[in-house]
Structure formats: structure tokens, C-alpha cells
């Protein structure tokens, strides 16, 4: 049977169109990248300033389709926020997720010569899309801000937490079986020890709540510990089990240099010299039967003002780490009443001096029992309080007053 000419032509046209569609589809598929994104954890080494002392973490995303190279950064805030400094001190200032190019992100680290490392994550295309979808949603104006917490909700923990949220039991952190025991304060000390005045300030501001042992999970509030956790982690399912990190790259590696360092103007030397001077003057006063109350007015004025700051941070801010701060035992706000009582001697002043002595002794007991770890440099200050309150208690009503 002969096929009609028009039927043959239609059949041939159908075959040719089908082949063309098939070939074009294959070519289009071949042009699509196997992985839509390249996702990495970026870890930046600590800097010399207090705000950069602990390093930084961020997420880098390279979009293979558009060629964009972006950094998602949870460690930023808006300086134009009304009452910025008040909110910063009270911990009512919101941090936010920001997005910048990788090139712009590196400017600061190149300028200050801070090392930067990259861990490329071994995610499937579907997992890459999950991460990118999460970051896009989190960057929406209504989602990007969050209430920063140094230990529990910061630039590092945000990354760890969204990875855990997205992958659940598929993500195994493989924590060390017998890790060294460290409290939150000890973890901080690893970074601020070269900055003795910053170390003192942190120990004065933060209370007993940070003198508890941190778990391996909790240690990841520090970028270095998060980086190590990513190195140990594995992914299950979606093919064979594999390491979370498939590639490590050094972005910047500058010559090693000392961070800060102890110098003569450190609290240890200055406070012990101060204690020595007070001891000598007290001995001289004992021999000459003079009180030198100007010393005590100055000392208790400073301690009272410091106590007011500690009380403010404890009771009137939302910082969880400034609670239960037993530095208030020796830097007590009501020491300002002692100042008033010494300037205008009152009958109750000896009771006030005895109260200050008992509080300083209690601070030593709290320290010895481990209820709170105080900064070692305050030891001479405690001894000065104990010495002067004893001296004044027994001699205030007997000797000539010298301001």
C-alpha cells in the first residue's frame, strides 16, 4: 500500500521536530551546572580590638548560574538605630543578617591582616537549594533581625543552628568523647589573656552564670570551635555517608604576629603597687596615729560607683551573663554611704565599716569555694578593703583625722 505524499511529509516533519527537541533538551541540560551553588563556612581569626577578639564566622555562597559570590553575615547591626548605645548596653539592640560580596567582606581582614579560611561543604544539589532557600527567607526584612546573645545566639551559633534545623539527624557532629573540661569564662580567657585590661573588664562585668562547664555543643559559640566541629561532622543518607567538609582553602594567611601582650601598665602590677602604697601609708598612720581619711574617701567612692555599674548590669539589662555577679560583694553600691559617713562622721560609720569588711571577706569565701571566679588582679583590692576597714573601725574615734 502506497503512503500518500502529504502523510509521509507530516510523518517526516514530526520525526525531525522530535529529534530537534530532544537534542536541544540534552544541550540545555548539559549546560546546567551539576551543582547550583558552592556553599562554604568562612572562619576569620581574632583581631587586636576587643570587638574582634573572638574571631568571626560567615557563610559564603557562589551561585554557579549567575556567577555571584556572596557572603551571608549574621554579625552586623545598624548604627542608625535610635538610642543605639543605650540599647547596646542594655542588650536590647538587635543584630541582623546582612549580605555583601565576598570581595567587600574581605576588605577588613586584608587591611588588619587577619587570617581567613574556607571550608567547602559537601552538599547535594538538593541540600544546597535547601540552604539557599533558608538564607533567602532569613534575609527577608521581617526575618533578618535577631536578639544577639554572645554565648547562645551569635554569628557562629546561628550557622550551626540552621544547619541542624535543615538536616536534623542526617548531620552527625561526632563530638569528641573525652574533651577538656572548660567553663565559659575559661573559654573567653583563651582569647582575652593577651589583653589584660579587657580581661579584667569582662571578669568584672560577667557573673557566676559563666562559671559553669560548657558542653561541646555550647563551645561552638566561638568561631574556632565551630570550624573544628564542621571538620568532624558527617552527613548521612542522600548517598553514602560522607564528611561535611570536602575541601579546605586558605584565603588569607599572614605572617604570625603577637596579639597585644603584657606590658607594665597592666592591672596586676598597678593594683599590687597600689596595695603596697596603701599598706605603707596605713603603717605610717598607725605609727603617727593619723587616719588619712582622704585615701578611704577616694577608694570607697570608686568602689561604690563600680558597684552601681555592676548592679545596673545585673538588674536593669537583659544580658543573661551579667546576673549573679558576686563582684558586688566588694564593689558595693552602698560604699557611697561610707563616703558620706567619713566626710561627715556619723555614729553609724563603724557599723558600715564592719559591713564592708564582712562583704570583702565573703567575696574571698565565694572565690575559694568556686562560687565565682574573680579576676586574679583584684586580690590586692580585697586586701586593701580588709586592711582599711579594720584600721578605721578600731581607730576612727581615737585619732586625729587627716584628709
Question: What digits encode the pLDDT tens for the residues 101-141?
Answer: 999 999 999 999 999 999 999 999 999 999 999 999 999 99
The answer to whether residue 12 scores a pLDDT higher than 80 is: no
State pLDDT tens for residues 253-306.
999 876 555 677 899 999 999 999 999 999 999 999 999 999 999 999 999 999
Helices (H) and strands (E) in the chain, counts: 13, 10
**Are 243 and 276 in the same domain?**
no
What per-residue confidence (pLDDT) applies to 15?
52
Cell of 39: 556553599
Last residue of one domain, picked from the residues 229, 252, 275 = 252
For residue 210, tell me if it sits in a domain.
no
**Are 387 and 346 in the same domain?**
yes
**Are 78 and 221 in the same domain?**
yes
**Are 237 and 121 in the same domain?**
yes
**Are 151 and 275 in the same domain?**
no
For residue 291, tell me if it sits in a domain.
yes
For residue 313, tell me if it sits in a domain.
yes
Last residue of one domain, picked from the residues 208, 225, 252 = 252
CATH number at 130 reads: 3.90.1720
Last residue of one domain, picked from the residues 225, 252, 279 = 252
The answer to whether residue 323 scores a pLDDT higher than 80 is: yes
For residue 350, tell me if it sits in a domain.
yes
Mean pLDDT of 211-217: 96
For residue 203, tell me if it sits in a domain.
no
**Are 240 and 321 in the same domain?**
no
Q: Per-residue confidence at 92, pLDDT binned at 50, 70, 90?
A: low
**Are 160 and 244 in the same domain?**
yes
Mean pLDDT of 22-50: 74
- Specify whether the CB–CB gap between 337 and 307 falls below 8 A: no
For residue 234, tell me if it sits in a domain.
yes
d(CA 271, CA 377): 7
Q: Per-residue confidence at 80, pLDDT binned at 50, 70, 90?
A: low
Cell of 138: 532569613
Neighbours of 339 (CB within 10 A): 20
d(CA 359, CA 154): 36
For residue 88, tell me if it sits in a domain.
yes
**Are 291 and 221 in the same domain?**
no
**Are 246 and 277 in the same domain?**
no
Q: Per-residue confidence at 346, pLDDT binned at 50, 70, 90?
A: confident
Number of domains in the chain: 2
**Are 305 and 160 in the same domain?**
no
Residue 399 three-state SS: coil
> Which of 45-54, 326-335, 385-394 is predicted least confidently?
45-54
**Are 386 and 274 in the same domain?**
yes
Give the range of the structural domain holding residue 295, as residue numbers without chain letter. Answer: 267-395
**Are 349 and 222 in the same domain?**
no
Q: Which residues of 93-102 are buried (b: 16+ CB within 10 A; e: fewer)?
A: bebbbbbeeb
For residue 194, tell me if it sits in a domain.
no
Amino acid at each position: 500500500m502506497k503512503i500518500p505524499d502529504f502523510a509521509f511529509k507530516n510523518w517526516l516533519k514530526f520525526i525531525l521536530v522530535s529529534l530537534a527537541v530532544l537534542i536541544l533538551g540534552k544541550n540545555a541540560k548539559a549546560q546546567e551546572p551539576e551543582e547550583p551553588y558552592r556553599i562554604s563556612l568562612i572562619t576569620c581569626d581574632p583581631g587586636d580590638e576587643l570587638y574582634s577578639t573572638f574571631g568571626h564566622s560567615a557563610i559564603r555562597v557562589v551561585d554557579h548560574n549567575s556567577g555571584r559570590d556572596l557572603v551571608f553575615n549574621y554579625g552586623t547591626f545598624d548604627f542608625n538605630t535610635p538610642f543605639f548605645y543605650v540599647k547596646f548596653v542594655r542588650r536590647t539592640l538587635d543584630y541582623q543578617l546582612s549580605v555583601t560580596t565576598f570581595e567587600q567582606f574581605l576588605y577588613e581582614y586584608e587591611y588588619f591582616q587577619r587570617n581567613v579560611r574556607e571550608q567547602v561543604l559537601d552538599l547535594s544539589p538538593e541540600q544546597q537549594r535547601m540552604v539557599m532557600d533558608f538564607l533567602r527567607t532569613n534575609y527577608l526584612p521581617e526575618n533578618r533581625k535577631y536578639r544577639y546573645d554572645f554565648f547562645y545566639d551569635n554569628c557562629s551559633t546561628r550557622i550551626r543552628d540552621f544547619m541542624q534545623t535543615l538536616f536534623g539527624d542526617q548531620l552527625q557532629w561526632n563530638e569528641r568523647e573525652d574533651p577538656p573540661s572548660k567553663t565559659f569564662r575559661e573559654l573567653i580567657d583563651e582569647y582575652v589573656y593577651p589583653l589584660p585590661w579587657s580581661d579584667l573588664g569582662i571578669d568584672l562585668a560577667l557573673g557566676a552564670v559563666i562559671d559553669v562547664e560548657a558542653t561541646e555543643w555550647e563551645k561552638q559559640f566561638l568561631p574556632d570551635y565551630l570550624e573544628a566541629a564542621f571538620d568532624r561532622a558527617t552527613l548521612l543518607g542522600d548517598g553514602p555517608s560522607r564528611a561535611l567538609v570536602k575541601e579546605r582553602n586558605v584565603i588569607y594567611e599572614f605572617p604570625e604576629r603577637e596579639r597585644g601582650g603584657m606590658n607594665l601598665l597592666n592591672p596586676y602590677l598597678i593594683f599590687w603597687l597600689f596595695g603596697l602604697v596603701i599598706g605603707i601609708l596605713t603603717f605610717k598612720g598607725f605609727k603617727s596615729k593619723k587616719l588619712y581619711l582622704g585615701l578611704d574617701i577616694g577608694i570607697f567612692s570608686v568602689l561604690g560607683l563600680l558597684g552601681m555599674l555592676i548592679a545596673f548590669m545585673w538588674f536593669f539589662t537583659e544580658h543573661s551573663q551579667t546576673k549573679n555577679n558576686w563582684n558586688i560583694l566588694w564593689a558595693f553600691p552602698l560604699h557611697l554611704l561610707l563616703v558620706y559617713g567619713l566626710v561627715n562622721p556619723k555614729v553609724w560609720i563603724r557599723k558600715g565599716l564592719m559591713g564592708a569588711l564582712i562583704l570583702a571577706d565573703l567575696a574571698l569565701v565565694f572565690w575559694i569555694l568556686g562560687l565565682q571566679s574573680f579576676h586574679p588582679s583584684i586580690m590586692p583590692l580585697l586586701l586593701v578593703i580588709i586592711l582599711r576597714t579594720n584600721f578605721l573601725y578600731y581607730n576612727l574615734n581615737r585619732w586625729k583625722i587627716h584628709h
